[in-house]
Each structure stands twice: as C-alpha cells, then as structure tokens.
Chain A
C-alpha cells in the first residue's frame, strides 16, 4: 500500500493545466507537417502554416494556443494499492485547476449553472473521470476541451442492422454538418459500443491517443483508415475554406455492447490537440 497525499496533486494539476494549453505534443508537430505536405489548396496550406506559427509562438511565450482554454476535463487512473491522505482528491484537483488557470493567464469559461449562467471566475469545477486500475500509482491527464468542437459532437443509438455502413454514414454526416465550427483540421474521436454514456466517454478518450497512431485491433485500425480517407474527401479542408486536410486523424475506441444496441458517438477535437499527463 502506497500513500499519496492529495496536497501533492495540486501543483501537478496546476502545471498540467498550463502545459496542456500552451504546448502541443511531438505527434502534433509531425501531423501538421504531414498535413502541409499533403494539402493541395494554397489558402489551406497557408492556414496550416499559420497554425504551426501560432503553436510555436504560444510555446515560446508560454501563452495560450487558443483563447478557448476550455473546461478542464480530467482523467484519473487510481491504482487500487494507493491510499489517499491529506484531504479529498477532487477538491485537490479543483484547487490545481483554480491555480493553473489563474497563474497561467488562461480564460475562465465555466459557469455555475447551465441556466443561471454566472461565471465561477476560476474555471472550476473540472469534469473528472476516475478509473480504478491495478498498481500503486495515480495518473492524471488534463485535457482542456473548447466549445467550438464540443458543441457539434453527438451520440446516436444505431440499430445493429445498420452495421459498419451506418457508423460511416453517421460520422460523415457529423463532419459535414460541423463544417468550420470545429476549427479543422480536427482529430475525430469515435466511440462504438457500450451504452449511451459509455459511448460518449469512449469518443472523448479516443482523443487522448497520440496522432498518427492506429488502434491495436486490426478491424478497428482499418475502419479508422477508411473513415479518415472518407472525411478528407469531403473537401471541407483547413478552417472549412476548401481543401484536402479536414482531419489530422481519426481515432476509434470500442467496448462490448448489448445484443440490441449499436451506439456510436463522435467527439471532435479542434486542431489544437491539447492534453498533458503526469504520474505520481
């Protein structure tokens, strides 16, 4: 049994909030270069180069890549051989978010109530998903989620008879309808299986996998390739002004499901593929 004092979580979450909003991963730099090389539209290439320049500027000045620094979505993996001390874990995470968004000069975009709509002023509370795993560690992933791409995401409970073709139709329809609101080129997260809420979570988790990396299951990896090809034939392109690169990648996550169900969810991630993680 390992003891972790939750007070030690606060500075970690603070740092991850700032890092995720200002620095993009190596996979992103690789993906954007690949996109620039493949884009046929002149204006599209120009936009992709400006996005690269924007990311470089944000990294060197430790400034936000985008003003929508999101609601902080936090994935916690808690090893079952860990004993937490020193307070409540969720309180500590929220304190880390509060400090990170304040010290990092990040925008506070969280409202106290969906109908009263008053800004809480410190970007709390975060949205926290916890999974109990084997081991004696605590892993925290911070994935700030902006609204432009979130607002055009969705879930559909397909009939099993609609099969893979139904999934392709739904994903394509979502991409076409979203157009420029997602700030393309996007990472398209797709969840398949589970039930209503599980499939939405799968789609969000799919956004955490590094770009240009395929799913380990061959039939899912193949579907990712097929969807990516299809999406990049829509002509939507960078910022939806026309072009080849509508998506940087497509990631699918799957889970077992009920005999009568075929749930599918699409969660878009704008071109700023933001997440940062740490293990305690």
Chain B
C-alpha cells in the first residue's frame, strides 16, 4: 500500500505503476460531465478556471446529498469515459496530475497522460457508502448551480484507489483480463 498526499508532482505520478494500491490523503476536487464541459468551454473562451488544477486530482463523482450529521452521501466513482473529450485539454493546459474514476480511457487521454505525467486511478464502482467514510470534509468551490455536478473540494484520509493506467500507458484492465481469459 502506497500513501500519497496531494498535491503530487510529476515524479511521484511517474513512480506509480498499474496495479499499485494507493491511499490518497489531502484535498481532491470533484468534477463530472457538466463541470467538465464548463471548464472546457471556459478554457476555449480564454478564461481562467475557478480552481487551480496544477498537480491536483479530480474525482469523477456526483455524490448523494449528506444526511444530517454526515459529511457527504454515497460517493463512488462514475464512468470516466464520458470525460474523455475534455480531459486531454485539462492535462495539457492545466497539468492535471491525477484522475479517479472507473472504466477505460481513450487513446487521446492516455497519450496526454504519458506526455505530461498524469495517472489514472480506479475506485470501486458502486462502493459509494464505503468510500464516503474516507471523506472528512466536503465544500462546494465552484458551479454550485449544478447541484450534484458542482465542483467540491474534498478532504480525504486514506482514500483507497488502484492505479488503473500509469504514466507509461500500462493498463490494468488489459493485464487483468488476459490473465483470467479462457475463451
């Protein structure tokens, strides 16, 4: 188990290998479909982003509302592929250093990850109640009108992830499947 604390630099990102189990500490930002589209449109229009993504990690999640006494409701990963159209721009122009989600990524995203040194982490899809327990604080920092799709700043403690695709482009999905394939 490897522990990292955000922000993470390029050398740290490049040291992580597909299959490594990692515990993330510090702050991470949430962002999914609508927030990505807005950030992408802002950059295209020459505007600044509401948060500085350099060396930071974006978690693809749209949490459930918090019950009284809870920090956040269920907060598991959503399918990353829907963000693929926007991700290369965030990596290349803003040096986004990590992403947490589930499912595969496009060749364009992987190329940007290799070029800049960005790592793609997987969290267990559907383990929303369990993952929420590792989130200690949640504050909306941008696009509040988007509700569950707003950008939150999350303070996490030992947030459990697995390196899905590393900075060399090694892909745990491909490696894992071929190991157990019997067809």
Contact with A along B119-145 (1 / 0, CB 8 A): 000101111111011000000000000
Tell me if B177 and A236 are in contact (CB < 8 A).
yes
User: Which of B4-12, B57-65, B92-100, B108-116 forms contacts with chain A?
Assistant: B57-65
B176 to A242, Cβ gap below 8 A?
yes
Nearest-CB distance from B121 to chain A (Å)?
A: 13
A interface residue numbers (CB < 8 A to B): 40-41, 43, 47, 50-51, 53-55, 57-58, 61, 63-69, 105-109, 117, 119, 121, 147-148, 151, 179-181, 183, 230, 233-237, 239-244, 270-272
Interface-facing stretch out of B46-54, B67-75, B151-159: B67-75
Indicate whether A107 sits within 8 Å of B176 (C-beta atoms), given known contacts A51-B127, A230-B183, A233-B181: no
Nearest Cβ distance between residue B2 and chain A, in whole angstroms? 15
> CB of B26 within 8 A of chain A?
no
- Is chain A's binding surface mostly helix, strand, loop or mixed? loop
Is the Cβ of A108 less than 8 Å from the Cβ of B147?
A: yes
Contact, CB under 8 Å: A240 / B176: yes
Chain A residue contacts of B17, Cβ below 8 A: none
A183, B126: Cβ atoms closer than 8 Å = yes
Q: Which of A47, A53, A67 contacts B76 (CB 8 A)?
A: A67
Tell me which residues across on chain B come within 8 A of A270, comparing CB atoms.
125-126
- Size category of the binding interface on chain B: 35 or more
Can you list 30 residue pairs at the A/B interface with Cβ under 8 Å?
A50-B127, A54-B128, A57-B130, A58-B74, A61-B129, A64-B74, A64-B128, A64-B129, A66-B76, A66-B125, A66-B127, A66-B128, A67-B63, A67-B64, A105-B64, A106-B64, A106-B65, A108-B147, A121-B147, A148-B78, A148-B102, A151-B79, A179-B103, A179-B173, A180-B125, A181-B79, A230-B183, A233-B183, A241-B172, A242-B180
Tell me if B66 is interfacial: C-beta within 8 Å of chain A. yes
A22 closest partner in B (C-beta): B129
Judge whether A54 and B126 touch: CB under 8 Å.
yes
Chain B residues with Cβ below 8 Å from A243 are: 176, 180
B130 and A50: CB pair below 8 A? yes
Q: For B182, what are the chain A residues with a Cβ–Cβ distance below 8 Å?
A: 233, 235
Q: Does chain A have a CB within 8 A of B85?
A: no
Q: Which residues in B have their C-beta under 8 angstroms from that of A109? A: 62, 148
